[in-house]
C-alpha cells in the first residue's frame, strides 16, 4: 500500500495519508516517507493515536532518538526518556503556570529556532505528537530556509557567506529568564560554532542556519551588531511566502527537518491544557558549509 502526499503550502509542508504508526512499516514505505520529507521539509501525519513507545519506534525508522541532556527542569519525560515534554501539564497531570521554570524555558519556542543546534552534531529532525492541542493559539509555524537563503538580499548574503555563528544552550536562560543550566549541564553542552550557511547532507542544497534563541555570537562581529544581524535575518525569513503554519488537530504527528527549517509556536491561553510529546533525531554529522 502506497502513501498519498498532499502539499499544504507552496513553500513547505505536506500531509501524508496511508500510514498507521501503530503498525509495522516496510522499508519501501519508510523510503517513500523519507523522499517526501526531503521534498516537503515538514510532514503532517493526521490521526496517529500512538503511545510514547510507538512514537519512539516510528522515530527509530529515521535515526536514533535523542535523550535531552538537561534533567533539572523535567522537560524530559521520567517515563520514556526519549520523550521531550512540550506541555503545560506535568506527568502528574497538574496544569502549570507560565511562571514555573520549565514553562519559562519552553516559552523560548515562540522565537524562531531549530532543535538542538547547540550540539556539535545538531539534530536531523523532530517529531511532535499533539495529544491535547490548543484552540486559542499554539500554532506551530515553519520556514523553508533553503528559499530564504536563495532569496537573501545581497547585503545580507555577504554578511553570512563563509561565516560562523555560536550556538549556546545556556543562551536560552538569558533570553527568557529561566534558571541557568547547572554547572554539570553546562559542562555537558559547551557552546559550538556552526556555519551560517549550511549544505544539506541529503539534498545538497544550501540553507540559512540561524537561531534567535541559541546564537549568542557571530565570528568577527561585536555583540550588538551580531544580535542585530540575527534579528534582521530572522525578519527577512519570517515572510508568509516562506512559511507553513500548522493548526493542530488532536493526534497529528508533525515531522520536520531541523537542517533546513526553523520553527516558532504562537502563544495560547495559559489556562488551556496543551500536551505535546516530541522525539528528536540525533545528528550523525557536523554542519558543513558545503
Ligand atoms: C518544539 C517546539 C513547538 C510547539 O517542539 O521543538 O519548538 O508547537 N515547540 O510547541
Ligand atoms: Mn523546537
Note the pLDDT tens digit of each residue in 75-89.
999 999 999 999 999
Q: Is 66 in the pocket of ligand 1 (CB under 6 A)?
A: no
Q: Which domains does the chain have, with CATH numbers?
A: 4-281 (3.60.130.10)
Q: Which residues pair with 276 in a beta bridge?
A: 130
Q: What percent of the chain has pLDDT above 70?
A: 100
CB of 129 within 6 A of ligand 1: the answer is no
Ligand 1 pocket test, candidate residues 13, 128, 133, 262, most atoms within 8 A of CB? 128
140 lines ligand 1 (CB under 6 A): yes
Does the pLDDT at position 179 exceed 90?
no
- Evaluate: CB of 246 within 6 angstroms of ligand 1: no
Which of the four pLDDT bands, split at 50, 70 and 90, describes residue 267? Answer: very high
3-state secondary structure of 28: helix
Cα(126)–Cα(114) distance, rounded to whole angstroms?
A: 9
pLDDT digits (tens, 9 = 90+) for 17-53: 999 999 999 999 999 999 999 999 999 999 999 999 9
Q: Is the CB of 252 under 6 A from ligand 1?
A: no
Q: Which three cell numbers stand for residue 92?
A: 502528574
Pocket of ligand 1, candidates 55, 84, 86: which has the most ligand atoms within 8 Å of its Cβ, to mutate?
86
Cα distances (Å, whole numbers) of residue 77 to 68, 91, 112, 251, 280: 9, 8, 24, 19, 13
Residue 264 alpha carbon to ligand 2 centre in Å? 7
Q: Does the pLDDT value for residue 211 go beyond 70?
A: yes
pLDDT of residue 91: 94
Q: So what's the pLDDT on residue 72?
A: 87
For residue 113, report the distance from its CA to the centre of ligand 2, in Å.
Answer: 6
- Cβ burial of 242 (10 Å; 0-12, 13-18, 19+) is buried
Cross-sheet strand order for the sheet of 261-265: 243-246, 140-144, 261-265
pLDDT at 1: 64
End-to-end Cα spacing for the chain: 37
**Ligand 1 center from residue 260 Cα (angstroms):** 16
Question: What atom in ligand 1 is closest to the CA of residue 84?
Answer: 5
Is residue 136's pLDDT more than 90?
yes
The three grid cell numbers given for residue 73, joined into one nine-digit string? 527542569
Cβ 258 under 6 angstroms from ligand 1: no
Amino acid at each position: 500500500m502506497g502513501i498519498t502526499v498532499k502539499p499544504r503550502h507552496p513553500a513547505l509542508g505536506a500531509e501524508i495519508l496511508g500510514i498507521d504508526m501503530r503498525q509495522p512499516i516496510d522499508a519501501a514505505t519508510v523510503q517513500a516517507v523519507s523522499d517526501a520529507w526531503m521534498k516537503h521539509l515538514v510532514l503532517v501525519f493526521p490521526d496517529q493515536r500512538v503511545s510514547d513507545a510507538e512514537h519512539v519506534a516510528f522515530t527509530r525508522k529515521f535515526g536514533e532518538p535523542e535523550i535531552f541532556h538537561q534533567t533539572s527542569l523535567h522537560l524530559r519525560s521520567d517515563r520514556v526518556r526519549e520523550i521531550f515534554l512540550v506541555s503545560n501539564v506535568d506527568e502528574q497531570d497538574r496544569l502549570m503556570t507560565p511562571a514555573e521554570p520549565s514553562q519559562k524555558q519552553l516559552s523560548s519556542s515562540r522565537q524562531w529556532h531549530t532543535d538542538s543546534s547547540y550540539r556539535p552534531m545538531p539534530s536531523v529532525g523532530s517529531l511532535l505528537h499533539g495529544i491535547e492541542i490548543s484552540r486559542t493559539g499554539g500554532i506551530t509555524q515553519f520556514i523553508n530556509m533553503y528559499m530564504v537563503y536563495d532569496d537573501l538580499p545581497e547585503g545580507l548574503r555577504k554578511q553570512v557567506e563563509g561565516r560562523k555563528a555560536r550556538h549556546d544552550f545556556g543562551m536560552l536562560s538569558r533570553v527568557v529568564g529561566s534558571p541557568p543550566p547547572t554547572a554539570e549541564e553546562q559542562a555537558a553542552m559547551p557552546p559550538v560554532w556552526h556555519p551560517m550557511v549550511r549544505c544539506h547532507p541529503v539534498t545538497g542544497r544550501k540553507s540559512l542556519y540561524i537561531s534567535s534563541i541559541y546564537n549568542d555570537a557571530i565570528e568577527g562581529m561585536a555583540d550588538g551588531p551580531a544580535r542585530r544581524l540575527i534579528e534582521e535575518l530572522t525578519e527577512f525569513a519570517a515572510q508568509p511566502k516562506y512559511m507553513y503554519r500548522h493548526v493542530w488537530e488532536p493526534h497529528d504527528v508533525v515531522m520536520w527537518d531541523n537542517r533546513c527549517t526553523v520553527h516558532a509556536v504562537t502563544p495560547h491561553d495559559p489556562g488551556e491544557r496543551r500536551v505535546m510529546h516530541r522525539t528528536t533525531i540525533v545528528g550523525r554529522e557536523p554542519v558543513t558549509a558545503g
